[in-house]
Amino acid sequence: MFTMTYILTNIQKTTTGGVTSRITKIVSHPSYVAKTADNDVSLWQLTTPIQASVNSSAIGFATLPLQDSDPAADSVATVSGWGLTSEDGTKLPTDLLKVSIPVIDRATCSTDYAAVSSSGCSTTSSTWEI
């Protein structure tokens, strides 16, 4: 485990640009499993707000649904990151990648993806507090 005290924001390459902000708190998903990376997501509280980018190709901020509700089925979500792009991949990209995916309802997700991922569909709500 390592402690991160700063984050670089508003970047699309891991090698250039960005704005540094101090991290004051990190809250990991309550069901995170390090061995399998299930629920590998966390909330970060920063000392300064992240400013929206003026770059037209930048990925916008997420709009979260209300507590105890889901995004509308058939809406589109954008997923982004510098993670691996295949199960057997070993090289991380230097460019921020993104993909737009359709949102499916919980029942369909639980039925169709239960064998694929234990964290891909959430059937219970969790309360996270910063």
pLDDT of residue 124: 46
Residue ranges of the chain whose pLDDT lies below 50:
1-2, 123-126, 128, 130
| Upper half-sphere CA count for residue 103 (Cβ side, 13 Å) | 15
Instruction: Give the pLDDT score at 130.
Output: 45
pLDDT computed for residue 47 by the predictor: 85
Q: So what's the pLDDT on residue 14?
A: 65
CA angle 114, 34, 45 (to 5 degrees): 100
Domains of the chain, earliest start first: 1-51 (2.40.10.10), 59-115 (2.40.10.10)
Q: In what order do the strands lie in the sheet with 6-9?
A: 6-9, 19-28, 42-46
Rg (CA), the chain: 16
Say if pTM beats, i.e. exceeds, 0.75. no
Q: Are the CB atoms for 62 and 79 separated by under 8 Å? A: no
